[in-house]
Structure 1
Amino acid sequence: MNVLVTGAAGFIGSHFAEKIASLGFKVIGIDNFSEYYSRDLKEKNAGDLESKGIRVIKHDLCDGDFNNLIKEDIHYIFHFAGQPGISAKSTFESYLENNFIATQNLLNFALTQKKLKLFVNLSTSSVYGKFATLAEDEETKPVSDYGVTKLAAEQLVLSRSRSNLLKACSLRLFSVYGPRERPDKLFTKLIDCAINDKNFPLFEGSTSHIRSFTFVGDIIDGILGVIGKEDICDGQIFNIGSENEHTTQEGIDIIEKITGKKIKFDHLPKRPGDQLRTSANIDKARRLLGYDPKTTFYEGLEKQTEWFRKNWVK
């Protein structure tokens, strides 16, 4: 069966494309290779995928029609692409275009695929707001443009399911970390600062933030859980994360222990839009998808540090 993975050269998308290809699926990746962070890292990820027989198409979903780029019948679409994170350099327009308009264009393509079994939208715990501790059917209160546009995209996808136009579900991911993590993300930055004697930009109050930090391998296992369960998943939302909570300070302490280096900090004012606590309620995913994350925080950070030492592209 043929699987389309958007954002395939990115952090989570590349891991997923690699894993599902290893299970015998034919994978077609698509990525716009944006300049949000180093293209070198994404080019390396794409090269790793292509070495495993995965075709990666360089194309921007915001450009509209791309039916001519994909001739195969698509059975599954996994939509990872989007404008990530909370960044002062990202405009509202970039979130709107890359998270919402791009999703609409992809849905238009999906509706042409007569053999499509399931459209899987990858969302975020940021849709819940400052305190992401809720079950999937509870109220969302996003506090960032990122969260707002991801929630809008999620509802756009689910509206197509509610209209019986296609089968679709949305997975809300919680604080993913691990090898290939983006350079602007917490642990890549911490590891880089520890190993290369750089100062880490520490926002006021962030060391006490609580997160359901979830290793990327466990996230991939959760996403794979939808395969073969199209009827169960159709129209549904699932939280995919870890039930274990850790503070940012715990992460700092572990990185310092693993690297044997003390991290220096540049202290900055509070960052607007930051979540104060995420705690993944995964009862639904555990019950319906058989989801069961197992990687400990320390094990995951060891793996990420090892990857950084071997592969980091400056």
Structure 2
Amino acid sequence: MTFLVTGAAGFVGSTLCDQLLAEGHTVRGLDAFVPYYAPALKRRNIVAAQTHPNYQFFEVDLRTDALAKYFENVDVVYHLAAMPGLVASWTEFDLYMNCNVLATQRLLEAARKHSGLKRFIYASTSSVYGKFASGDESLMTKPVSPYGVTKLAGENLCRAYMDSFDLPLVVLRFFSVYGPRQRPDMAYNKFIKALIQDEPITVFGDGQQVRGNTFIEDCVRATQLASAAPAGETYNVGGGEMATVYDILQKLETIAGKKFRIKVEAARDGDQRHTFADTTKLRKHLNWTPQVSLNEGLARQYSWQLQASAMM
């Protein structure tokens, strides 16, 4: 099969591309290298893929560039490109609107004109549920950050194209994905970096915020399986283990054999308080279950970051 992956140089996107290539598929990757974090890190993510004969990579901006030509012979689209992050979305709303809504609309326009498309997979987020994101897909969507608002707008755009043009849509709502290649702005990456470099960390609020954690390999496997899901479905993607911020810090201290130096600051606007994915539907429809425990996943991310820091 031939897959088109947007956000192909990012955390989830690059890992997905590597797995698709390993299984013998043809992959066309698109990424604009928007400098939310260092583009050099994203380019490093795709070094191995770019040596593969079944991989084509194009530096493309979904907001402005012509897109139709990238759909030639494509069976499945994985739309992973987005501007992430809760905090910055308050001050850079135009950027989030353009990257998460306008870019999605332009991609959908190109997709609807491609008659051979079997599935269009839209990667969404638990942030669409709001401050308390624990339950199944029937939870009310009530985002509390501009980021969550723009991702929900992207979902609704996709559904409009499904209803009007028979777009074979599947929506995935990711819950707290972590592991090798995690973005440097994400909490676990920051925590591990601080341990390696013996730097202090900041805990926002009381540290009792709960997350349901999803290891990158489990997330990618669910994303792949979505290409065989019934069109029109929405699925939560979560790893099945809850932990507070302080739980994670204790686990990382055990892995690293050293203690954190912690500063405490006020909770941030738009932060979620409690997230945990009910993945019953994903399990029933696609026979998916998470395979990597939180302890193992954190150890693997720590090892990856330790090795990466030694190379810098």
Q: Tell me: CA distance 1:80–1:267, structure 2 relative to 1, closer, same or farther (3 Å).
A: same
Q: State the Cα distance separating 1:71 from its structure 2 match.
A: 6.4
Distance 2:248 2:282 in 1: 26
Where 2:110 maps in the other structure, the secondary structure is helix
Contact kept, 8 Å, 2:87 with 2:270, in 1: the verdict is no
Q: State the Cα distance separating 1:20 from its structure 2 match.
A: 1.3
Distance 1:261 1:296 in 2: 22
| Aligned-CA RMSD value | 1.5
Where 1:208 maps in the other structure, the secondary structure is coil
Q: Which residue of 2 aligns with 1:92?
A: 93
Q: Unaligned regions of 5+ residues in structure 1, if any?
A: none
Distance 1:198 1:55 in 2: 40
Q: Which residue of 2 aligns with 1:19?
A: 19
Q: Unaligned regions of 5+ residues in structure 2, if any?
A: none
Q: How many aligned positions are there?
A: 309
Q: State the Cα distance separating 1:268 from its structure 2 match.
A: 2.0
Q: State the Cα distance separating 1:83 from its structure 2 match.
A: 0.5
With the length of structure 2 as denominator, give the TM-score of the two structures.
0.95
Q: Deviations over 1:233-287 (max 9, x none)?
A: x111100112221111111111111111211123222100000000101011111
Contact kept, 8 Å, 2:71 with 2:114, in 1: the verdict is no
Q: Which amino acid aligns with 2:193?
A: D
Where 1:83 maps in the other structure, the secondary structure is coil
Q: Which residue of 2 aligns with 1:112?
A: 113
Distance 2:272 2:7 in 1: 24
Q: Which residue of 1 aligns with 2:301?
A: 304
Q: Which amino acid aligns with 1:286?
A: R
Moved more, 160-169 or 125-134: 160-169
For residues 212-223 of structure 1, what are the structure 2 equivalents within 5 Å? 212-223=212-223
Q: State the Cα distance separating 1:64 from its structure 2 match.
A: 4.1
Moved more, 38-47 or 157-166: 157-166
Contact kept, 8 Å, 1:202 with 1:268, in 2: the verdict is yes
2:270 to 256, 262, 273: 273
Q: State the Cα distance separating 1:163 from its structure 2 match.
A: 2.2
Q: Which residue of 1 aligns with 2:251?
A: 254
Contact kept, 8 Å, 2:96 with 2:150, in 1: the verdict is yes
For residues 30-49 of structure 1, what are the structure 2 equivalents within 5 Å? 30-49=30-49
Identical positions, percent: 37
Distance 1:179 1:58 in 2: 23
Q: State the Cα distance separating 1:160 from its structure 2 match.
A: 1.4
Q: Which amino acid aligns with 1:48?
A: A
With the length of structure 1 as denominator, give the TM-score of the two structures.
0.94
Contact kept, 8 Å, 2:71 with 2:111, in 1: the verdict is no
